[in-house]
Amino acid sequence: MSVQERKQRERAERERLIVATARELAEQQGWDAVTTRRLAERIEYSQPVLYSHFRGKREIIGAVALEGATEMAAAVRAATSAADGPRARVTALARAYLDFAAHNPAVYDALFQLDGGLAFAHEDTPEPLKDAFAALLESLGEVAGDGVHPGVFTETFWAALHGLATLTRAGRLPPEYAEQRVDLLVDRLAVA
């Protein structure tokens, strides 16, 4: 291994450590606790080292979001691949999405609530974000209905899921009706 290859590998490892530490700190204490000073202390590197990887917190949030998008897409695909039939796939998708949001609140915030400097729904949207949307479209496109654009239908269903995730997490919806909400969403919006 050349010196250059070793340096590149070490740089990539430091970057992964920064992102993992930011994510861990955000999950434990919220995004307000994630500062370059605290990250530098936790990973035992100087702040200039952090800035050599990321220009600031915004880029770190973006990196966490991209990682989270990849994980969410995998979770949705795993859930839907085990389901039999359109209704079961859409139900599995909805549950996987809501479970991901509930179990990864800081990552979910990085994806959809915070400014990570990422473009959504544009030509320059990063691949992990496009793939996360594609994971939703794969199951939702088949139930969009005649004359309904599959992408627009997926956006609408996703917006409903996001609303459920956000309102549930904020304590605005009684938890005892969570399953009924998913069934209602699937039955009334996705499977005619």
Residue 189 pLDDT grade (very low, low, confident, very high; cuts 50, 70, 90): confident
User: What mean pLDDT is predicted for residues 125-142?
Assistant: 96
Structure tokens at 129: 């974000």
Nearest to 96 by CA among 73, 65, 112, 113: 73
pLDDT of 1 higher than 80: no
Nearest to 136 by CA among 114, 162, 115: 162
Is 28 in contact with 105 (CB distance < 8 Å)? no
State residue 190's pLDDT score.
80
User: What mean pLDDT is predicted for residues 12-37?
Assistant: 96
Nearest to 132 by CA among 158, 99, 164: 158
User: What mean pLDDT is predicted for residues 39-51?
Assistant: 93
Q: What is the pLDDT of residues 57-111, one digit of tens each?
A: 999 999 999 999 999 999 999 999 999 999 999 999 999 999 999 999 999 999 9
Percent of the residues in the chain that have a pLDDT greater than 90, as a whole number: 92
pLDDT of 181 higher than 60: yes
pLDDT of 138 higher than 80: yes
Q: Mind giving me the DSSP string for 17-59?
A: HHHHHHHHHHHHH-GGG--HHHHHHHHT--HHHHHHH-SSHHH
Query: Per this entry, what is the length of the chain?
Result: 192
Nearest to 79 by CA among 36, 136, 33: 136
State residue 192's pLDDT score.
54
